[in-house]
Amino acid sequence: MKFDDSNVDASQVQDLRGGRGGGGPGRGGGMGRGATVGGLGIIGLIMAVFFGVNVAGNEPEPQFIPTQTQTQSQTRTGTTMGTGSDLATRCNQPGAIDQYEDCFITKVFNETNEIWASQVQGYRRPTLVFFERGVRTACGPASSDTGPFYCPGDDKVYIDLPFMKQLLNRLGANGRNAEAYVIAHEVGHHIQNITGQERRVRQLQGQDPRNRNALSVRMELQADCYAGVWARQANEQGKVQITPSELDQAREAAAAVGDDRINPRLGQEHFTHGSAQQRQEWFNRGFDSGDPRQCNTF
C-alpha cells in the first residue's frame, strides 16, 4: 500500500499510550485488563473483535453525495488534542510510515477521512484513539480485549495496536493491509453514525430484541462494504495505491474475522458480525461498485 504523499495528520488523533510508539509498559488508560466490559472468556475475547457499534438498522437513506455533484468537500481542520503532536513529529520524518505501525495506521485513517468527506454530506471527522490496556469512552469503559472498536457516543475509533496485531495474526490475517481493513471497517461504523443508521438500528434492536443479532450482522456487513468502497475510491482517486495482492490481504482479513472462522461451533443465530463468506462478499461489493449506496445490507 502506497500513499500519494507522506504527510501524516495527527490532529484527529488522541494518543493515550504511556510509552511512545506503543508496546512499552506505559501507564495505560487508567484501568487494568481486569476492569473491562464484563470479563469475557477467551472465545468471547476474540469474538468481540471488531465489536464496533454492534447495532443495525432499517432503511439507510444515507446522505451520500451523488457522484456527479461531488465536489471538494470541506474537511474540517481538526483541533490538536492529546499528545497527537508527538505522533505528528515522529510520523512526519522521512520513512516513518514504513517504519512505524502507528504512523501507517494514522495515515490510513487520514485517507479514510479524505475519501468520506467527499462522499457524505455533513461529514465530520472522527478521532482515532491509541490506547493500551484500558480506556474510558462515552460508550463505557473498555479494555484491549474488546478489540478495535468505534464508539458512536464520542465519534472515536479506539485501537490498542499491539493487541490488534496479535489478534489478527491469531486469526490468520497478516500484514498491514489487514490492519488497514480494520481501520476502514471502524470508520465505516462512523459513517453509519453520521447517516443515522446506527441510531435506527439501535431503536429496532430495542423494539425487537430477538432480532438483535441479525440486525447486528447487517450493521457489520455494511461496515465491511464501506471498507471496500473506501479501498476502491482511494485507489481510483490515486490517494492510495493498492496492488491486487494487497487487496487480497484485505479480503482475507474480512473473511478471517467472520463469526464461523472465529468460532466454528457457533450457531448461526449467534452470529453478530456475519460469516467469513458474507463479510468477504460485502467487502467485495463495496470495492467492485465503489458506491456506498450499494451497501444496503438491510
Q: Is 220 in the site for Zn ion (CB under 5 A)?
A: yes
Segment contacting Zn ion by CB under 5 A, of 23-31, 51-59, 84-92, 195-203: 51-59
The answer for residues whose C-beta is within 8 angstroms of residue 24's C-beta and 6 or more apart is 17, 18
Taking CB positions, which residue lies at the least distance from Zn ion?
Answer: 52
Q: Are 247 and 231 within 8 A, CB to CB?
A: yes
Q: Is 282 in the site for Zn ion (CB under 5 A)?
A: no
Torsion-angle region of 131 (φ positive above 0: left; ψ -120 to 50: alpha; else: beta): beta
The answer for residues whose C-beta is within 8 angstroms of residue 100's C-beta and 6 or more apart is 21, 90, 91
Of 223 and 253, the one with the shorter C-beta distance to Zn ion is: 223
Of 223 and 229, the one with the shorter C-beta distance to Zn ion is: 223
Return the number of other C-beta atoms located less than 10 Å from residue 81's C-beta: 15
Of 15 and 220, the one with the shorter C-beta distance to Zn ion is: 220
Q: Site for Zn ion (CB under 5 A): which residue of 21, 28, 29, 52?
A: 52
> Residue 220 Cβ, how far from Zn ion at the closest point, in Å?
5
Number of residues that bind Zn ion (CB under 5 A): 4
Q: Is 281 in the site for Zn ion (CB under 5 A)?
A: no
Of 188 and 290, the one with the shorter C-beta distance to Zn ion is: 188
SS3 249: helix
Given the DSSP bridges, would you call strands 140-143 and 134-137 parallel, antiparallel or unpaired? antiparallel
Q: Is 224 in the site for Zn ion (CB under 5 A)?
A: no
C-alpha cell at 233: 475510491
Return the number of other C-beta atoms located less than 10 Å from residue 49's C-beta: 23
Q: Is 158 in the site for Zn ion (CB under 5 A)?
A: no
> Residue 45 Cβ, how far from Zn ion at the closest point, in Å?
15
Residue with the three cell numbers 461489493: 285
Q: Is 50 in the site for Zn ion (CB under 5 A)?
A: yes
> Residue 296 Cβ, how far from Zn ion at the closest point, in Å?
17
Which residues within the stretch 6-45 sit at the binding site for Zn ion (CB under 5 A)? none
Helical (H) or strand (E) element with 167 = helix 161-170
> Residue 286 Cβ, how far from Zn ion at the closest point, in Å?
14
Of 9 and 179, the one with the shorter C-beta distance to Zn ion is: 179
Rg (CA), the chain: 18
Of 96 and 184, the one with the shorter C-beta distance to Zn ion is: 184
Partners of 149 in the beta sheet? 158
Binding site for Zn ion (CB under 5 A): 50, 52, 220, 223
